[in-house]
Amino acid sequence: MNLGVLISGNGSNLGAILDAIAEKRLDARVAVVLSNMAGAGGLARASKAGVPRVVLSHRDFEGRAAFDAEVVRVLREHDVDLVVLAGFMRIVTSVLLDAFPSRVVNIHPALLPSFAGTHGQRDALAYGVRISGCTVHLVDTGTDTGPILAQAAVAVAPDDDEAALRQRILAREHELLPTVLQWFAEGRVDVEPSPGARSRVIVRGVRTAFGLAIE
Ligand code: GRF
């Protein structure tokens, strides 16, 4: 399974994917890392792992669709099977989604459908929830609205600030994302498209609790 990992920042989830591959917990290869930010820390991780890197600034394109068309070209050039949005801070269009139907995955730092958007941890904290977590889901044209593949929960401590909660959630992200990618690698994920409604996702042979597989 060839992964195309899209990033904008630090790339710790990319690092978790690369670690899982190195430790043979994930039967895949990262075929290309694409960043829309030239300074993204994740590019250094990719370089260290010998993974091809591509920087595409969205500012060089007239609109999201034109940018996504070039993203698709790069992903196809590298024979990508599954696209992973790992801290990619751009809304994607149907240009990308139609090129990789039911094969674009995102990780979000909150328990969707609560706290979608850019500040999942901050919004959860401000709301006063006692439990938060992370969600891996298929991407659709909405913001963090696609069918959920798996979730993992963390407790929110009374004295948590945003940074503390972010770190606690990130630790779970780093477990959850490679786990879900391995489900794809094993061909366990079936998606039943439902025109006009939410697609149904079935993960065969895996019972889950808090995003952890129970065998
Ligand atoms: C993560 O919190 C992820 O859930 C969100 O963006 C952040 C990316 O972190 N979508 P990193 O770049 O993988 O360290």
What's 65-122 look like in SS3?
A: HHHHHHHHHHHHHCCCCEEEECCCCCCCCHHHHHHCCCCEEEEECCCCCCCCCCCHHH
Q: What is the pLDDT of residue 200?
A: 85
Nearest-angstrom CA–CA distance, 53 and 11: 13
Q: Which residue has the tokens 């990262």?
A: 30
Q: Kindly give, in sequence order, each residue whose CB lies less than 8 Å from that of residue 186, ignoring residues fewer than 6 positions away.
A: 27
Under a CB-based contact definition with an 8 Å cutoff, are residues 64 and 141 in contact? Answer: no
Residue 13 C-alpha to ligand 1 middle, in angstroms?
6
Q: Is the CB of 13 under 6 A from ligand 1?
A: yes
For residue 109, CA distances in Å to 21, 101, 123, 135 come to 22, 23, 11, 7
Q: Is the CB of 132 under 6 A from ligand 1?
A: no
Q: 108, 119, 137, 174: which is the annotated catalytic residue? A: 108
Q: Is 174 a catalytic residue?
A: no
Two tokens at 95?
Answer: 């240009």
Q: What is the pLDDT of residue 210?
A: 55
Full pLDDT tens readout for the chain, 215 residues: 999 999 999 999 999 999 999 999 999 999 999 999 999 999 999 999 999 999 999 999 999 999 999 999 999 999 999 999 999 999 999 999 999 999 999 999 999 999 999 999 999 999 999 999 999 999 998 999 999 999 999 999 999 999 999 999 999 999 999 999 999 999 999 998 777 778 889 898 887 655 555 44
Q: What is the pLDDT of residue 34?
A: 98
Q: What is the pLDDT of residue 193?
A: 77
Under a CB-based contact definition with an 8 Å cutoff, are residues 6 and 88 in contact? Answer: yes
Q: What is the pLDDT of residue 215?
A: 47
Nearest-angstrom CA–CA distance, 103 and 30: 15
Q: Is the CB of 109 under 6 A from ligand 1?
A: yes
Q: Kindly give, in sequence order, each residue whose CB lies less than 8 Å from that of residue 38, ignoring residues fewer than 6 positions away.
A: 55, 57
